[in-house]
Amino acid sequence: MKTKVLLAIVALSYAPLVVAGDEAAYPKEKIAAFVVEKLDLTSLPSALRPKKEKGKKTFADYGFTVQTVDESEAVLEAAGGVRRLAIKVLDQKSSGIYVCVAEPGENRGSAKTQSVILLKRKDASALLKGRESFREFTACPVVDGSDSTSNSYGD
């Protein structure tokens, strides 16, 4: 009986460390820069990601350059200016980061395509993986550049 109580006390004493470890997986400041550095582009919906190339995953791998970045927003441009992507951090929780990823339209006021993406990673050294979120934000209404319907994976 004493052993069970001792084990319970030990387990409870380590619980705050385990929870704190999960929360430390995402930064509290410069979140947009973190997303730009750690996002696995191959996990984005097909309308927003570049064409998959072997061995390439991040913005840097694909040759994107940062045009602007602040605490919660970033604008990136592909080599030669053929494509621009805008990222806006909408919400951050210990379970992940909600971002709005958009491809700006020709007339700067609207987006060709944009979607709310939930970014998560398995551990502190892993890249952020994204999936479309069903959560809605007024700052990021769904805009789909195609006339066809798409599933939750953007395919």
DSSP track, 54-68: TT--STTTTT-EEEE
- CA proximity to 89, closest of 25, 131, 19, 29: 29
Residues 141, 125: Cα–Cα separation, whole Å: 32
Q: How do the domains of the chain map onto residue ranges?
A: 27-132
Residues 31, 56: Cα–Cα separation, whole Å: 22
- The predicted-structure confidence for 14-49, as pLDDT tens digits, reads as follows 444 444 444 447 898 999 999 999 999 999 988 888
Longest dimension (CA), the chain: 72
Mean pLDDT in residue range 73-96: 90
Give the torsion sign (CA, 68, 70, 75, 80): positive
- The predicted-structure confidence for 102-137, as pLDDT tens digits, reads as follows 988 776 567 788 899 999 999 888 999 999 998 888
Percent of the chain with pLDDT over 70: 74
pLDDT score at 2: 55
pLDDT score at 127: 94
> Over 50: is that where the pLDDT of 147 sits?
no
Percent of the chain with pLDDT over 90: 43
Backbone torsions φ then ψ of 122, nearest 5 degrees: -75, -35
Confidence band of 7 (pLDDT split at 50, 70, 90): very low
Mean pLDDT in residue range 80-100: 91
The two structure tokens encoding residue 52: 């998959």
Mean pLDDT in residue range 62-68: 93
